[in-house]
Structure 1
Amino acid sequence: MKRFYCGCVKEQCLKLDGNKFDIVVADPPWWNKYIRRLKNANEKLSYSMMYNEDIAAIPVQNLISGNCLIAVWCTNAPSNVAAVKNIIFPKWGVEYVGTWYWMKVTVDLQPLCSFGSGCKKQPYERIILGKVGDINDIPDDQVVVSVPSALHSQKPPLLDILTPFVKTENPQTLELFARYLLPNTTSVGYEPLKWQHESLYEEVT
């Protein structure tokens, strides 16, 4: 079953109270200076950014099953990485278990850009993993490799690679800040149908 709730993530999660999910994936709109500059130039190019404390205030802890795997997409900013581990996960009642990396490559399997240092753009993003209860052992520093979508900020679906680590058969998944629908997933956010638009698909005859 797949369903979606369109609106403020915090408010929609309150409506879901009583539901329990075995996998939770979140792609928060982290506060970002680059996006802020785009917003100043053109309002349509931006989205509503959130402070770390506001993300932590989303009542995820009420929606987590007794044995749940949580994955949070995170920028490489040290402040955001620390916030997931030290603010957001503790508020949600989640134990940090490891970090994976999404390596973005070209069709020739080369890094999308050079590896930088400091605040320079990197060819990878982080997936910070946490758990509640009992799940299968998760390897740390796993690398997920794919060619990124041409659509801004679209992440690859994680359901198939996360499912083997939960012990529930046919796990129910919650995706926060969703932009497209996935099987057996409850999608929540302002744009859960954004990348379902027919203009993004070609008709096959």
Structure 2
Amino acid sequence: MEYSKTTDKLTEFLDSGIYRFEDSNAVFIDPVRVLNRSYTRFRVSPSAYYCRPFDSTCPPEPSVASNSRKRKRKEKKKKKKPRALNEREQVADQRHQEVRPFLLKAHESLIRTSEVLEVMSNLRGCLGPETSSPGVKQSFVELAQVWQAPLYEITLNFHTNYKEGEDGVIAVMYSTLCLLGSLATQGCEQCVLPLFNNLVVNESSNDVEAEVLTSRYILPPKSSFYMSDMGQIHNLIPAESDFGFSVIVVDPPWENGSARQKSRYKTLPNRYFLSIPIKQLCHTDGAFVALWVTNREKLRDFVEKELFPAWGVTHVATFFWLKVKADGSLICDLDLFHHRPYECLLVGICRGKVMNSKQLLGSDHIPDNQIILSVPGDYSRKPPIGGLLQELAPRLKGGRSIELFAREMTTGWVSWGNEPLHFQESRNFVTE
């Protein structure tokens, strides 16, 4: 009986990409399997997703010398006593100590689950050897800043479905694409649309291949994107709140030295995020808001005291993304002070016009300190947790969902940001 139960769980995991541990408040996510549920003709390439070496670790602590010359200089100096933590660092350490038991228990659950570890050992599959980061040929951020930006277009090439009719005649059905809900194109194999400051929607049930300049992109079914800067985000506010969003995920480009050094993306000062119209984007019944944050105490303090109040969001739970290697071990020591092997997802509720927080949750309770384990993909790429969030409250199921500052697309979701096609380039996919 136990063997059958284990087999069923493994089968479910291989299909969904999510494994739920019974002995801890944790789940393991295989991002590639989760993402592939959004596609019909294409598949996310594991070797492209896991483009960073599996054996990479967190950077060393700032106090550790990065080269032999610095090491020699330090050896000559007398050993200093450990520096006392300042007030903010003490608060950050206290947060870490509180969640540490949950993180350890979740990791122990993973290590004990041999069937998941076996799958993890072959995450890249048979799609080729380890590769370097695929990168992006063109920068949408740079394209948007030139004077020709309004002239840039995206060409969508629809995939045709052939169905055999009763009279033996082949009926050709083409996809439908809408632009801002007013422009519909049917019965054509190709459609050319403005790239920036437009809501581009793939309403079909198939993947769509798109072209921008000389690059190809894959758009999943029932998905849409709006590529713009912060000045255009208000265009996403629905005319009627009944058409608002029930789940809102936000992954802001927080200011941090690491991002600047690596030149991966442009960051923004914290005050810019105060103007995001979360309240106006919400559905009449309210919405769940999930915000990715780093472990900097200064940032947590800003979110709790300024950002969430400005958005009208009440914090109800904190999730943690615990990063592991393909062999199941943590990417670095759990107690490294400046480089924790986890990130935080603050989950809150934005009260709607109809229901308050208790009514929105109903009889359900969101457990705090939930742990999400997964192997990291490219730099700053978050695991796909949209499905988990949509399960939080049955009353919100079926509502619209949006990701702000998105860099990829998901079936059923609206992706907004200045580079929502970042991970949609065809080189990240293989044909099924």
Using the size of structure 1 for normalisation, the TM-score is: 0.89
Does 2:392 align with 1:165? yes
In the alignment, which residue of structure 2 is the partner of 1:53?
A: 271
Q: Which fold has the larger relative contact order, with Cα–Cα distance below 8 Å and residues 6 or more apart in sequence? A: 1
Does 2:414 align with 1:190? no
Using the size of structure 2 for normalisation, the TM-score is: 0.44
Three-state SS of the structure 2 residue aligned to 1:195 is coil
Per mean C-alpha deviation after superposition, the further-off stretch among 157-166 and 69-78 is 157-166
Does 2:250 align with 1:26? yes
- 1:7-60 residue CA offsets vs partner (Å, 9 max, x unmatched): 11x33321012251000001101110222333xxxxxx2322112211121112
Contact 1:13/1:60 (<8 A) preserved? no
Structure 2 CA distance, aligned partners of 1:179 and 1:35?
A: 15
Structure 2 CA distance, aligned partners of 1:11 and 1:186?
A: 18
Match runs of 1:1-205 below 5 Å: 1-8=222-229, 10-18=230-238, 19-38=243-262, 45-65=263-283, 66-118=285-337, 120-133=338-351, 134-135=360-361, 136-149=364-377, 151-166=378-393, 167-204=395-432
Q: Deviation at 1:169?
A: 3.0
Unaligned runs of 5+ in 2: 1-221, 352-359
Unaligned runs of 5+ in 1: 39-44
Instruction: State the percentage of identical aligned residues.
Output: 31
Three-state SS of the structure 1 residue aligned to 2:396 is coil
Three-state SS of the structure 1 residue aligned to 2:290 is strand
In the alignment, which residue of structure 2 is the partner of 1:41?
A: none
Structure 1 CA distance, aligned partners of 2:404 and 2:326?
A: 29
Q: Deviation at 1:128?
A: 0.5
Contact 1:68/1:131 (<8 A) preserved? yes
Instruction: Give the residue type in structure 2 aligned to 1:12.
Output: Q
Three-state SS of the structure 2 residue aligned to 1:106 is coil
Instruction: Give the residue type in structure 2 aligned to 1:89.
Output: F
Q: Deviation at 1:117?
A: 4.3
Instruction: Give the residue type in structure 2 aligned to 1:156.
Output: P
Structure 2 CA distance, aligned partners of 1:153 and 1:37?
A: 13
Structure 2 CA distance, aligned partners of 1:22 and 1:203?
A: 33
RMSD: 1.5
- 1:128-177 residue CA offsets vs partner (Å, 9 max, x unmatched): 1100231242111000001111x111111111111111312312111001
Structure 1 CA distance, aligned partners of 2:398 and 2:232?
A: 23
- 1:81-101 residue CA offsets vs partner (Å, 9 max, x unmatched): 122222111111110111110
Structure 1 stretches of at least 4 aligned residues deviating more than 6 Å after TM superposition = none
Structure 1 CA distance, aligned partners of 2:246 and 2:391?
A: 12
Instruction: Give the residue type in structure 1 aligned to 2:231.
Output: E
Larger of the two Rg values belongs to structure: 2
Contact 1:12/1:188 (<8 A) preserved? no
